[in-house]
Structure 1
Amino acid sequence: MALCALVSGRIRDGSVTNPKWDLESLHKIQPELFYDEAKKQLLELATESNIHILRAHAILAIAAIQNGKTRDMHHHLGSYHTLVAMDGLHNEANWPRNIDVVEREERRRLFWSMYTLDIYTVVVWGGIIRCSECQSYVAYPTEVDDDMINDNGITAQDPTPGNDSQSFAGREECWLSGWNFITDLYRVLEHALTRLRGYRRRQTTNSFLVGMFEEDFTATKASVRESVFQMYLNLPDCFKETPQMVCNVKKDRFGFQAANITATFQLLRIVLFAGSGTSIEQRCQIASEVVEAFVSIPIAYLLSISTPLLHHLGGIGSILGNVLEEPLSEADYTRVRGVMLSMAMLLENLEVIHHSTSASEKLRSQVSRIDEYMTRQRQIAPSAAVLTASEGMMEESVLDSQVAQSYQEIIPDGALDWTFPENGELLGDLTWNFNLN
């Protein structure tokens, strides 16, 4: 029932592009009916715990994101992590003794899927990390295709054993290699978040822990960025290039991994750059690269990833959100303008999965305001240049006063008429609440 709720929501939001499905018939039942029934059944099973209940909470958490129900998302995540804690399921040694190979692999996939979702929600909505990778004793899923796994064991030749992808060379013949790499990225993201928060807390709280564990805080953002970029370069091409969707399950699985890797890689870049104090030019550059990376993904994959992808894009606001509060040259304005227009074009293709006011229209409106401001600013400059020689002899303080007054007359509200929207204005509930500054 939980899966029906998620799939129905994705169908409603235009995520299914395979022409073989009769979507009209699938629209007849509202996603809320499946969602409410799944919640009702889970309430009746509140005292029980098994893999099916764990999966139901996991799927409903994602469905809640799809439906914009943030409180429900936290509820199902909390229920899942409570059940994991009650039975110590963060350690494979505590798993039921009688499970077969298939269930073991399913549990591994579920555990690491929920780990990545936990880190993702911390980035987007704030809060605390519920599941730390360094306290988890669960192996990665074995990198073999599903048809090579049965209750008797794994039949593949030389399967990758699994706890870590380590330097990750990647096995091109298995989509799970890309899936495990995504988990690697989220593990890096967890530590990046921990250290960024640690650095900020030193300004307001006692730093004795930093003194005790100094070596744990020495990794710089630049070195992390370089290491992650090298990890990405080491990937097989099938996980770096996203071909068009062909509606072939085996081939499209690789496409989905490539698309998800791109999205997660850019998410990590956003977090590493957002609080780094880089220049306006650098921030515009990284924001532009993030948008370009998403544009390079075929639209069918973007629609399939659906609402979670829009939350990724909300992170761009964390980079540019305070840019227009700073003194900017015309070149800087041009850079910001270009990023905003590129993002607007991308959002136009995704608005089928966005239920509130058009985000792209808001962006274009902001660009128009910037253009108006820049036009006024250019009109001021020539008028100041035609002063006569005698006028040029005026006291500098008087001239400054007049110029300042002319600015106030032309633009009485200053830059407030066109500044980049505050967090929450541009994408509504799709923007980040996590403070990266």
Structure 2
Amino acid sequence: MHSRSTNTAQRAPSACDFCHVRGLKCRKRTGNLEPECLTCSDYGVQCTMNRPIRKRGRKPRIPRPECYFPFLPEKDLAERWERSIPDAEEPSYLLLMSLCAVSAQVASLQAVFEGALLNDFVLPDSEQYFLEAASRIPMRIAQPQNIDYLRSFGLLAVYSLHRTNHSDLHRYLGMYHALVAQQGFHDEQRWPDHLSPLEIDDRRRLFWCVYRLEIHSACVLGHMVRMPEAQISVLYPRITPSMDREMQAWTAGWDYITDLFRLLEYAIFSLRGCKIRKAVLAVFCERPSPTTMIDALARLRSSKPRILLDLAQAESVYPSNRCEYMAVQITCTEALVNIMAMLYCEASACEIMKVVEDFLEEVAKAPLIMFKVAGSQIVHQLLGVGHMLFNASRHENGRNWSEARRLIAFLGELVTNLEGDIPSAAEAGDRLLRLAELVRRDM
């Protein structure tokens, strides 16, 4: 065997900067004090070795965001605007700005499960995105069938809700419903025939998401319901075998909460129907049986899909944060429906307070990130529970005022402690503490 001469140019163990960038063979000089390699000499460039040395071994894992957004398909979120930004006059641009407004709003509150995603991230101003989106809404929509308009109006309504701007919330919900009526979005039979099953599911998810937003605002903010269930002919998104078990659980939980919101709509109409009306109107507003809602809630709970029973143990069965968040949402919504149903059935204040106390015990166990992700929605729900508890306590001549005051004050302190993380919490906490003070004065 012939040994290679020591004078032969050999490839260096580590290439110089010039050779590394261009993928060239780095030929070091041997027996020469000059540091530059032969390749750099041939190209007439300075030979340097300033490139940082990479550590060997497995690269650190960057947490992947859990992405499941009701207003937009996951694929669109990842790929739609990856290569270029659409023209400013296109509905796709309006949707992008609306999405950026909500995303920047969430990021500014650090309301994300994976905090590492925000490391070294310069937070943009969500208001700039919002104003840009608002400025791109045409006076006359030339493409009313384009679903991006519906998505945009839904997102802008969500943004307005979290900013506690009820005027803008009504404005964008009104725009959404105007298009729904114009294109018959509330009736699947009027949807285009060429839609794929995935596109149909995306539309269903969008429709019911905005429905829930409207019922939420009607329940805790006293707003009107523009699209009652009686006018709706839209199914729920499908749960398919191709989904993994975690996604199936999340979708089943989403459907179950939507069922609760439909029951909540029934409770809202029933309670509002109890108000004094003119005789001519009362003929058309027959009150349902007081036990109807309680029975309906009991049936809904008893028929809860088995896969949802595991959500209570989300950490061990489903490690995903979104499943744990879904479990918290179910607990809050069930309690809200239960309390409203008991109010309508004129249950005793003692019974209602027991439900509220059990509810607060569960809510107090939730980590802070769950409140931050829920944002204004959970704050509004807690405020609504406080108001309902206050009203229930005043119907029994002060027999339970002391307990009512304790629970309302606890609610006020719980919400006030969130004011550093959720902007709307400060005002809501103050209102709850004022309610507790009113109860104390009546004692």
Asked if these proteins are the same fold (TM beyond 0.5), I'd say: yes
Give the alignment partner of residue 340 of structure 1, picking from 397, 408, 425. 408
Deviations 1:91-110 (A, max 9, x none): 11211222223221111110
Which residue number in structure 2 is paired with residue 182 of structure 1? 257
Report the Cα offset of residue 313 of structure 1.
0.6
In 1, Cα distance between the equivalents of 2:433 and 2:274? 36
% same residue? 25
From 222, 229, 242, the counterpart of 1:126:
222
Question: Is it true that 1:11 corresponds to 2:79 in the alignment?
Answer: no
TM (normalized to structure 2)? 0.67
Q: CA deviation at 1:66?
A: 0.8
Whole-Å separation in 2 of the counterparts to 1:241 and 1:338: 30
After superposition, residues 235-246 of structure 1 pair within 5 angstroms as 236-243=308-315
Larger relative contact order, structure 1 or 2 (CA cutoff 8 Å, min sep 6): 1
Distance 1:79 1:172, change over 3 A: closer
Distance 1:35 1:226, change over 3 A: same
**CA distance in 1: counterparts of 2:151 and 2:295, whole angstroms:** 37
CA distance, structure 2, for counterparts of residue 172 and residue 143 of structure 1 = 9
Q: Which one of the candidate residues 234, 243, 247 is aligned to 1:138?
A: 234
Per-residue deviation, 1:333: 4.5
Structure 2 CA distance, aligned partners of 1:127 and 1:117?
A: 11
User: Which structure has the highest helix share of the two?
Assistant: 1
Letter in 1 for 2:283: F
User: Whole-Å Cα distance in 2 between the matches of residues 230 and 4 of structure 1?
Assistant: 40
- In 1, the alpha carbon distance for the partners of 2:367 and 2:163 equals 23
Structure 2: runs of 5 or more not aligned? 1-96
Q: CA deviation at 1:267?
A: 2.0
* Distance in 1, Cα, partners of 2:300 & 2:439: 38
Structure 2 residue aligned with 1:379: none
> Could you say which residue in structure 2 is the equivalent of 1:291?
360
What is the alpha-carbon distance in structure 2 between the residues aligned to residue 15 and residue 171 of structure 1?
22
- Counterpart of 2:330 in structure 1: which amino acid? I
Q: In the TM superposition, what is the alpha-carbon distance from 1:217 to its structure 2 partner?
A: 4.9
Tell me, in whole angstroms, the C-alpha distance in 2 between the residues paired with 1:242 and 1:302.
Answer: 17
Q: Report if aligned partners of 1:122, 1:129 keep a CA contact under 8 Å in 2.
A: yes
| Alpha-carbon distance in structure 1 between the residues aligned to 2:315 and 2:371 | 12
Secondary structure at 1:353's aligned position in 2? coil
Question: Quick one: which of 139, 143, 155 aligns to 1:48?
Answer: 143
Residues 123-159 of structure 1 deviation map (CA, whole Å, 9 limit, x = unaligned):
12224322222332222101138xx4xxxxxxx69xx
Q: 1:365 to 1:242 in 2, by over 3 A?
A: farther
Q: 1:313 aligns with which of 365, 370, 382?
A: 382
- 1:74 equivalent to 2:170? Answer yes
Deviations 1:160-188 (A, max 9, x none): xxxxxxxxxx9984421111111111111
- 1:204 offset after TM fit, Å? 5.5
Give 1:193 deviation, angstroms: 2.3
Q: Which amino acid aligns with 1:339?
A: L
CA distance in 2, matches of 1:110, 1:292: 32
Q: The residue matched to 2:346 in structure 1 has which SS?
A: coil
Q: Please give the per-residue CA displacement for 1:265-284, whole angstroms capped at 9, x wherever unaligned.
A: 12212322334433332232
TM-score with structure 1 length normalisation? 0.68
Determine the C-alpha separation between the residues in 2 that align with 1:309 and 1:196: 22
Whether the 8 Å CA contact 1:366–1:419 is kept in 2: the answer is: no
CA gap of 1:328–1:190, structure 2 versus 1, over 3 A, is: closer
Does residue 197 (structure 1) correspond to residue 272 (structure 2)? The answer is yes
Structure 1 residue 197: deviation in Å?
Answer: 3.0
2:299 aligned residue? 227
Instruction: Return the match for 2:398 from 319, 328, 333.
Output: 328
1:183–1:358 Cα change, 3 Å: closer
- Return closer, same or farther for 1:81/1:202 CA change in 2, 3 Å cut-off: same
Amino acid at match of 1:143: I
Q: CA deviation at 1:74?
A: 0.8
Is 1:258 the counterpart of 2:327 in the alignment? yes
Q: Which portions of structure 1, spanning 4 or more consecutive aligned residues, are displaced by more than 6 angstroms?
A: 364-367
